[in-house]
C-alpha cells in the first residue's frame, strides 16, 4: 500500500516542552462511536471546539445527542478513507475511526484495513497541514495473543497475520508504523496510545463485546455466552479513565507508544458472574466455543503512562460495571416503552 503525504508543506515545529499546549480546536475521527463520543463530550466540557468526522459505520448520532445544539460542536459525516480537509485552525487530530469490536471487524474486514491505512494517512495529512498534534488510538491487539505478561510497550507481540483478527491487528500495526514515519520524516507531532479493553455507557448493544453481551443477557435473564471455559483474562478500563488518558497523551510531549488500560485483570467467567450479580439476575452461564486466535491473557503494564503522562485509572471495576448496567437498563426500558409520542 502506498500513501503520499502532501508535499511542499513545512514540517511542523516541534513543540516547546516548557510551554503548555493550547487546545482550542480538535478534530475527532470516529467521534460518533463509543470512546470517540465520550472524548468529544470531554473536549467540549474543557472548552475546546470539536469537529467530529465519522461515517457512522459502527457509530451513531444517538451518542452525540447531548452535543446536538452545541455551537462548538460539528459533525461531518464522511469516510476518512477519502482525503478530507477541515476549515480553520486545528490543534489536535485524534484518530479513532475504525471498527473495534471483533464482530464488527469480522463483518467489515476491508473497511477496517482501509481505516487503519488510508484513514490514518488522511488524518496524518490533516495534522501535518494544520501543524496539529496527532493522536493515534491504537490497541492492545498489536500484542496479539501475548507471550509476555503483563504487556509492556517494548513487547513486539504475537500476531497471526492471516488469522480472523488480522484485519484489525495488522491495520493498527501499520497505522503505528505510518505514524512513526510521519513523525520521523515530516516532523508531525504524534503520539501513539495503545488502548486496552474499555467499557461503559454507549457500547452498542449488539456489538458482540463481552460487557454489552453479558449485561444485555443478564438483564433479559438469558444464558451468558462465556467463550471456552472462561479462564482467558482481560483488564477492563472504564471509559472516563480511558478518555482522561487520551487527553493526558494529547497534552503531553511524549510520542508513545504508551499503554492506556486498567491493570486489574479478571477472567471472563469472573466478569460474567460479576455482571450477573450486579444485574440481580438468575441467568445461567452457557459456555460457547472460543473464537480462533482469541488472546488468552491481557493486562497492561502502565508504568510508562504513570511516569510520562501522570495518568492511571481511578474507577473501580465494580463501580464502573454498575454504572454501565444502570445505563443499559435505562436504554432497554426506553426501547421497551417504544417511540415517544
Enzyme catalytic residues: 168
Q: Determine which residue in the list 120, 179, 232, 262 makes contact with ligand UDP, applying CB under 6 A.
A: 232
Residue 209 interacts with ligand UDP (CB under 6 A): yes or no: yes
Q: Is the dihedral of CA 294, 299, 302, 304 positive or negative?
A: negative
| Residues of span 26-55 touching ligand UDP by CB under 6 A | none
Radius of gyration of the chain measured on its C-alpha atoms: 20
Whether the Cβ atoms of residue 194 and residue 257 lie closer than 8 Å to each other: yes
Selected from 23, 55, 125, 190, the binder of ligand NAD by CB under 6 A is 55
Task: Look at residue 57 and give the partner it binds from ligand UDP, ligand NAD, none, a contact being a CB closer than 5 to 8 Å depending on partner kind.
Answer: ligand NAD
Angle subtended at Cα 151 by Cα 172 and Cα 179, rounded to the nearest 5 degrees: 30
Q: Which of ligand UDP, ligand NAD, none does residue 186 bind (CB under 5 to 8 Å by kind)?
A: none
Strand 25-29 to 49-54 pairing:
parallel
Q: Which of 27, 58, 190, 215 binds ligand NAD (CB under 6 A)?
A: 58
120 binds, among ligand NAD, ligand UDP, none (CB under 5 to 8 A by kind): none
Span near ligand NAD by CB under 6 A; candidates 11-19, 55-63, 182-190, 245-253: 55-63
Residue pair 27/51 in contact by the 8 Å Cβ criterion: yes
Are 46 and 23 in contact by the 8 Å Cβ rule? The answer is yes
132 binds, among ligand UDP, ligand NAD, none (CB under 5 to 8 A by kind): none
Cβ contacts of residue 193 below 8 Å, gap of 6+? 135, 136, 137, 138, 245, 246, 249, 256, 257, 258, 259, 260
Q: Which stretch binds ligand UDP (CB under 6 A): 107-115, 221-229, 252-260, 319-327?
A: 221-229
For residues 186-215, which are near ligand NAD according to CB under 6 A? 195, 197-198
Instruction: Please tell me the distance from the alpha carbon of residue 279 to that of residue 247, in angstroms, as a whole number.
Output: 32
Q: Where do runs of H (alpha helix) occur along 131-205?
A: 166-186
Q: Which of 28, 67, 97, 123 binds ligand NAD (CB under 6 A)?
A: 97
Report if residue 291 touches ligand UDP, rule: CB under 6 A. Answer: yes
- Considering the rule CB under 6 A, would residue 294 count as an interface residue with ligand UDP? yes
Q: Rule CB under 6 A: say whether 81 interacts with ligand NAD.
A: yes
119 touches ligand NAD (CB under 6 A): yes
**Per CB under 6 A, 102 contacts ligand UDP:** yes
Q: Using DSSP, how many helices (H) and how many strands (E) does the chain show?
A: 10, 13
Q: Which is nearer to ligand NAD, 48 or 195 (CB)?
A: 195
Q: Is 326 helix (H, G, I), strand (E, B) or coil?
A: helix
Cβ nearer to ligand UDP, comparing 122 with 139: 139
Selected range binding ligand NAD among 57-65, 157-165, 217-225, 314-322, rule: CB under 6 A: 57-65
- Pairwise CA distance, residues 62 & 327, whole Å: 14
Between 283 and 309, CB nearer to ligand NAD: 309
- DSSP secondary structure code for residue 252 in this structure: S
Q: Which is nearer to ligand UDP, 179 or 233 (CB)?
A: 233
Instruction: Determine how many CB atoms are found less than 10 A away from the CB of residue 134.
Output: 27
32 binds ligand NAD (CB under 6 A): yes
Estimate to the nearest angstrom the gap between the alpha carbon of 85 and the chain centroid.
23
**Alpha-carbon distances, residue 93 vs 36, 85, 96, 231 (angstroms):** 12, 12, 9, 38
Distance CA 180, CA 176 (A): 6
Contacts with ligand NAD, residue ranges (CB under 6 A): 29-30, 32-36, 54-59, 79-81, 96-100, 104, 115, 119, 137, 139, 195, 197-198
Contacts with ligand UDP, residue ranges (CB under 6 A): 101-102, 197, 208-210, 213, 225-227, 232, 234, 268, 290-291, 294
Amino acid at each position: 500500500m502506498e500513501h503520499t503525504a502532501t508535499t511542499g508543506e513545512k514540517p511542523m515545529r516541534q513543540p516547546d516542552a516548557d510551554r503548555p499546549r493550547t487546545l482550542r480546536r480538535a478534530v475527532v475521527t470516529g467521534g460518533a462511536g463509543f470512546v470517540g463520543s465520550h472524548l468529544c463530550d470531554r473536549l467540549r466540557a474543557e472548552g475546546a471546539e470539536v469537529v467530529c468526522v465519522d461515517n457512522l459505520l459502527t457509530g451513531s448520532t444517538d451518542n452525540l445527542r447531548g452535543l446536538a445544539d452545541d455551537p462548538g460542536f460539528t459533525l461531518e459525516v464522511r469516510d476518512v478513507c477519502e482525503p478530507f480537509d477541515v476549515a480553520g485552525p486545528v490543534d489536535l487530530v485524534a484518530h479513532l475511526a475504525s471498527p473495534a469490536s471483533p464482530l464488527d471487524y469480522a463483518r467489515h474486514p476491508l473497511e477496517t484495513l482501509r481505516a487503519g491505512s488510508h484513514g490514518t494517512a488522511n488524518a496524518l495529512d490533516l495534522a501535518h497541514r494544520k501543524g496539529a498534534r496527532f493522536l493515534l488510538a491504537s490497541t492492545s491487539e498489536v500484542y496479539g495473543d501475548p507471550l509476555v505478561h503483563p504487556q509492556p510497550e517494548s513487547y513486539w507481540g504475537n500476531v497471526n497475520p492471516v488469522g480472523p483478527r488480522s484485519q484489525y491487528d495488522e491495520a493498527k500495526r501499520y497505522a503505528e508504523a505510518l505514524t512513526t514515519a510521519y513523525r520521523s520524516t515530516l516532523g508531525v507531532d504524534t503520539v501513539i496510545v495503545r488502548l486496552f479493553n474499555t467499557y461503559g455507557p454507549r457500547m452498542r448493544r449488539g456489538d458482540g463485546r463481552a460487557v454489552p453481551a453479558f449485561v444485555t443477557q443478564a438483564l433479559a435473564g438469558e444464558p451468558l455466552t462465556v467463550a471456552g471455559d472462561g479462564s482467558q483474562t482481560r483488564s477492563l478500563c472504564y471509559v472516563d479513565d480511558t478518555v482522561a488518558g487520551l487527553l493526558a497523551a494529547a497534552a503531553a510531549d511524549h510520542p508513545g507508544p504508551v499503554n492506556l488500560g486498567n491493570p486489574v485483570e479478571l477472567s471472563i467467567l469472573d466478569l460474567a458472574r460479576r455482571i450477573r450479580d450486579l444485574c440481580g439476575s438468575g441467568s445461567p452461564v452457557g459456555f460457547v466455543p472460543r473464537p480462533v486466535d482469541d488472546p488468552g491473557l491481557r493486562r497492561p503494564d502502565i508504568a510508562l503512562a504513570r511516569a510520562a503522562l501522570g495518568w492511571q485509572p481511578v474507577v473501580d471495576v465494580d463501580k464502573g460495571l454498575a454504572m454501565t448496567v444502570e445505563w443499559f437498563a435505562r436504554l432497554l426500558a426506553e426501547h421497551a416503552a417504544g417511540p415517544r409520542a
